[in-house]
Amino acid sequence: MSFLPSIYYRTPSLRSAPKISQTLSPLFDLLQSRYLLQIKYLFTDKTGTLTENTMFFRQCSVDGVKYVSTDGEIQQLNEDNNNKELAVSPWPVSVTALEDFLVTLALCHTVQVTSKSKAKGEVTVTSGDTMCMVDLSHRYQASSPDEKALVEACASFGVVFEGQHKDTLVLTVQGHNRRYTRLQVLDFDSAAPLCTADRKCMSVVVREDWSGRLWLLTKGAESSVLRRCRAGLRTLAVGRRELSDHQYQLFATQLSEARMMMEGREEAVRKVMDQMETELTLLGATGVEDLLQEGVQETLESLRVAGIKVWVLTGDKVETAVNIAYSCGHFKRFMTVLSLTGLQDVEHAAARLQQCTQESQAEGNYGLVVDGSSLQVLLDNLKDDFYSVCSRCIAVVCCRMSPKQKAETVRLVKKSKERPVCAAIGDGANDVSMIQEAHVGLGVMGKEGRQAVRCADFAFAQFRFLKKLLLVHGHWYYVRVSTLVQYSFYKNVTFITPQLFYAIWNAFSTQVRGVKKSGVMVTELYAVLGSPRLFI
């Protein structure tokens, strides 16, 4: 019953899938097909699932000045003249803040230089006072698309990451080589599926070879970086701190001891990292754009019409997630969007939750936005009331979430009184816990590896294939299962009824007559008359 439908499912998806996804079967677990038409809640990641996960550097803010990327060149926005773009090429060396910002981005990463291609033009370096933009002549390989986009942007703006040899990092700034020794790398912790920490940033410790100065360079989500910085601009996500030899040796010793602990290792390492990433000097903020996938808006609208509630669970900040929700049609302009953000304690959360409950009781269409810190307070103390508000909303967006919180959110809905069938879809390692927690796990073969795909029940190339999986194949599987149930029931009735009447004439003994003949007759008749329906 499952062989022919599975073959039919494979062909259209592979024929329409990008080349990168044709190396993997689009269907894993046929036993989960019985849930497809019963799904009531869909939990989806944003980056790489609803979007292409193809990042483009668009703008940055450094020392209170906004810069934009236009045709591979950096240009300054003149806010006094209606944000008219002013070219900053050649780029004055006196703008040390911009140079420090780009150097920090060019050093704080784990990008590898895989090859060097021929440059389209020659690198032009003027003498002394100014420097011009350079053509990108390197190919970079990174585990994160946004890291690659930032390094490529720095290279196009004149700060080129040449690569590394062992622990030595080489940059080209103003046509001159600079060498740095990388001493420590404090990775992002939110990429781990079961990680409980919430740093959402990464840092490197480097030493300038020509001066011997030590620097701690940090980048990450502004909610994480800002609380580690001293007073400065309001919306910055890149910072640095100069370290003395004594400070670094102390931190390195503590970090080494924490990493060798047998018990409580992750917590000890996190505490040492938090101690290192303090008193940072703010440098600037970056703006990276990610494009929506094809067919996302139509797919979300079809799922909504089918009665499936969609929750977007993302690690992005509130503003970005809400903008994407509107652009993809998850939030509608006619919706009343409720907000549960910035909740610090139980009393504040209870009061705000009561207000949202009263607002959602009136007739209308409602959406909900909640951030990670508020969600943790609600899950720990007001779980039932929070789910009651969510159940009245057509669309829900949860922002700044860790992988553990994604799984807890799925578990909240799955263990509710209604016991609805839940599905989760994602493309990265941080979605694995959410996918495994749901009844039906869906993986998208994207640019963040195959961890999500390997843990999922179904896998395909893009989010738009979800529409056909649930609404077409889910319906067909439901028809086949119902046909099989009817076949089993009526076959047993037809098979047992003659034996019951025959038992009256044989004094209810164990003697049987015609059992094999009647069984074969019923099976063959149903195979001839009813089997075509099994393969609809």
Q: Which residues are catalytic?
A: 45
Among the listed residues 19, 11, 14, 52, the one whose alpha carbon sits nearest the alpha carbon of residue 294? 52
Q: Is 406 annotated as a binding residue?
A: yes
Q: Is 10 annotated as a binding residue?
A: no
DSSP element (H, E) containing 178:
strand 176-186
Measure the CA dihedral 75/79/82/88, to 10°.
-20
Cα–Cα distance measured from residue 327 to residue 116, given in angstroms and rounded to the nearest whole number: 37
Q: Is 219 annotated as a binding residue?
A: yes
- 3 state SS for 55-79: EEEEEEEECCEEEEEECCEEEEEEH
Q: Is 430 annotated as a binding residue?
A: yes
Contact partners, residue 217, CB within 8 Å, separation at least 6: 104, 107, 108, 203, 204, 205, 206, 239, 240
Cα–Cα distance measured from residue 455 to residue 443, given in angstroms and rounded to the nearest whole number: 8
In order, the DSSP letters of 379-434 are HHH-HHHHHHHHHT-SEEEEES--HHHHHHHHHHHHTSTT--EEEEEESSGGGHHH
73 exposed, middle or buried (CB, 10 Å; 0-12, 13-18, 19+)? middle
Q: What's the N-to-C CA distance of the chain in angstroms?
A: 10
Q: Is 146 annotated as a binding residue?
A: no
Q: Is 400 annotated as a binding residue?
A: yes
Q: Is 427 annotated as a binding residue?
A: yes
Q: Is 516 annotated as a binding residue?
A: no
Contact partners, residue 367, CB within 8 Å, separation at least 6: 325, 330, 331, 332, 335, 336, 337, 338, 393, 394, 395, 396, 397
CB atoms within 10 A of CB 433: 24
Q: Is 44 annotated as a binding residue?
A: no
The angle subtended at Cα 79 by Cα 74 and Cα 82, nearest 5°, is 105
Q: Is 188 annotated as a binding residue?
A: yes
Look up tokens 């309001």; give the residue.
Answer: 234
CA distances from 504 to 496, 500, 511, 516 (A): 13, 7, 11, 19
Confirm if 74 and 68 have CB atoms less than 8 A apart.
yes
CB atoms within 10 A of CB 141: 10
Confirm if 347 and 331 have CB atoms less than 8 A apart.
no
Q: Is 316 annotated as a binding residue?
A: yes
Q: Is 232 annotated as a binding residue?
A: no
Q: Is 47 annotated as a binding residue?
A: yes
The angle subtended at Cα 477 by Cα 431 and Cα 485, nearest 5°, is 125
Collapsing DSSP to helix, strand or coil, 142 comes out as: coil
In order, the DSSP letters of 221-237 are -HHHHGGGB-S--SS--
DSSP element (H, E) containing 152:
helix 145-156
The length of the chain, given as a count of residues: 536
Known binding positions for Mg(2+):
45, 47, 427, 431
Known binding positions:
45-47, 147, 188, 219, 234, 314-316, 400, 406, 427, 430-431
Known binding positions for ATP:
45-47, 147, 188, 219, 234, 314-316, 400, 406, 430-431
